[in-house]
């Protein structure tokens, strides 16, 4: 590799790292606010009501990804890909059509869930009031789907602050503040009310995001006419994106829903808190993926494999080191951390460690999903990850009723390790990108550290 090539790769990595610091700053703030949000809700609600909230939130999250129609991933690939080809018209077409699909699907899935609850209530003679938390969860589906796509659409255009701030900061800060105010005045929220309040505040945050994006001249247009040509050109591949996103999000939330169905709502709340706490390990990985996804797509489709490998390696190592540090903290203080939700939640430490072990291996294998999605291997990702998750779902149905949340955590850990390892092996052999901690991407980390130090001084 020539000196010029090394310099170019170092420049690419520096660019990705610098942007990732801004993303990380927001994500750290987000993690704190998210944790505060769940701690406040847990502390101000009964265990049963909080369990209902956790169940409804997990269900709405899964259905919101279905409502996103895979467009949150599609725009991260199609916008930089079309712009690299200097086809701005097709890039705008993809952006606009994505909005149309998300809104239509969000409304349809919301209506379908409400209809299913009404039918279930009629068949079982169960009162609607006892199912109100599921009806309330339906109000979160469209706002969550819009938030997910809106964030991706802005990130694809190079924005970080306007993409993340409204949902990750404004929404997550306002919800616990209002809940505390209600509690101070003697009004304790039940599961339904907490979900409705979350939906209302997220809707306001999305309106704020739209106004901010327009102010900074980011593209947000929605034209129904863009749907037909977009579906013709990208319809099939978008379905693969949808399937992949849905399966991944289901893998992150389905065990909470199943615990609520087969064990108790209180257990669902405990498992939900343990999983959300374990998710702190992925903080840096998610922050940097927000930045490198369009970069991987741009460099890979431009034939610059060394640069694509460089930014992938940066993401993997930064994410793994961060995750390892958090895992050690959980080993030492996991029970104390969980006790923030309430004394009874401290017993979830073993659940936290099992889930964290799976996420640590996940971090070691790197950003496998985004690399597969950005390089045109979404079908292979779906085949590997989807088949593993389908098998684990069947095992969940057998294990959870017998072994409860311990069984759920063990199955989750094993399934994640198998799936991520298999995808990383595929990426190395078929794509030529080593997403694991063993891939260094031609980056001289000593030189990179010196360059970063000089950049910080400047």
Residue 449 has pLDDT above 60, yes or no: no
Pull the structure tokens for residue 245: 């996103």
Pull the structure tokens for residue 76: 């991260």
Tens digits of residue pLDDT in 324-352:
999 999 999 999 999 999 888 988 999 99
Q: What's residue 407's pLDDT?
A: 95
Q: What's residue 15's pLDDT?
A: 52
Q: Do residues 363 and 416 lie in contact, with contact meaning Cβ atoms separated by under 8 Å?
A: no
Q: Do residues 444 and 6 lie in contact, with contact meaning Cβ atoms separated by under 8 Å?
A: yes
Burial class (CB in 10 A: 0-12, 13-18, 19+), 1: exposed
Closest CA to 50 of 256, 204, 199: 256
pLDDT bucket at 440, cuts 50 / 70 / 90: low
Q: What's residue 133's pLDDT?
A: 94
* Residue 258 CA, distance from chain mean position: 20
Residue 19 has phi, psi (to 5 degrees) of -65, -35
Which tops the pLDDT comparison, 205 or 231?
205
- Considering only the C-alpha atoms of the chain, give the largest distance between any 2 of them, rounded to a whole number of Å: 74
Pull the structure tokens for residue 321: 């080191």
Share of the chain above pLDDT 70, in %: 88
Q: Do residues 140 and 199 lie in contact, with contact meaning Cβ atoms separated by under 8 Å?
A: yes
Q: What's residue 382's pLDDT?
A: 83
Which tops the pLDDT comparison, 132 or 291?
132
Q: What's residue 143's pLDDT?
A: 96
């Amino acid at each position: 590799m020539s000196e010029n090539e090394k310099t170019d790769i170092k420049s690419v990595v520096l660019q990705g790292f610098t942007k990732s610091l801004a993303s990380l700053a927001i994500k750290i703030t987000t993690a704190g606010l998210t944790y505060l949000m769940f701690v406040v809700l847990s502390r101000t609600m009964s265990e049963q009501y909080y369990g209902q909230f956790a169940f409804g939130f997990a269900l709405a999250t899964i259905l919101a990804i279905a409502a996103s129609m895979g467009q949150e991933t599609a725009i991260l690939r199609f916008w930089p890909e079309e712009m690299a080809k200097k086809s701005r018209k097709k890039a705008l077409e993809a952006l606009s059509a994505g909005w149309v699909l998300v809104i239509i699907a969000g409304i349809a899935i919301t209506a379908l869930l409400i209809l299913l609850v009404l039918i279930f209530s009629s068949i079982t003679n169960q009162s609607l009031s006892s199912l109100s938390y599921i009806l309330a969860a339906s109000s979160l589906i469209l706002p969550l789907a819009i938030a997910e796509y809106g964030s991706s659409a802005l990130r694809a255009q190079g924005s970080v602050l306007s993409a993340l701030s409204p949902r990750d900061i404004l929404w997550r800060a306002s919800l616990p503040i209002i809940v505390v105010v209600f509690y101070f005045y003697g009004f304790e929220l039940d599961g339904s009310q907490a979900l409705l309040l979350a939906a209302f505040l997220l809707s306001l945050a999305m309106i704020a995001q739209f106004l901010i994006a327009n102010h900074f001249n980011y593209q947000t247009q929605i034209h129904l006419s863009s749907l037909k040509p977009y579906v013709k050109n990208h319809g099939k591949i978008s379905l693969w994106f949808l399937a992949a996103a849905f399966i991944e999000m289901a893998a992150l939330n389905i065990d909470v829903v199943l615990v609520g169905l087969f064990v108790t709502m209180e257990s669902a709340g405990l498992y939900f808190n343990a999983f959300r706490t374990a998710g702190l390990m992925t903080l840096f990985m998610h922050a940097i993926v927000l930045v490198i996804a369009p970069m991987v797509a741009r460099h890979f489709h431009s034939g610059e494999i060394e640069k694509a490998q460089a930014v992938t390696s940066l993401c993997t190592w930064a994410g793994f080191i961060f995750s390892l540090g958090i895992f050690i903290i959980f080993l030492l203080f996991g029970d104390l951390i969980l006790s923030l939700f309430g004394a009874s939640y401290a017993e979830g430490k073993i659940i936290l460690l099992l889930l964290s072990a799976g996420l640590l291996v996940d971090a070691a294998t790197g950003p496998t999903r985004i690399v597969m999605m950005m390089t045109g291997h979404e079908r292979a990702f779906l085949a590997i990850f989807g088949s593993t998750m389908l098998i684990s779902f069947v095992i969940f149905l057998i294990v959870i009723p017998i072994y409860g949340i311990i069984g759920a955590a063990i199955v989750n850990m094993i399934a994640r390790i198998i799936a991520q390892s298999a995808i990383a092996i595929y990426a190395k052999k078929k794509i030529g990108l080593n997403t694991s901690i063993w891939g260094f991407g031609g980056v001289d980390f000593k030189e990179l550290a010196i360059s970063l130090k000089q950049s910080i001084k400047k």
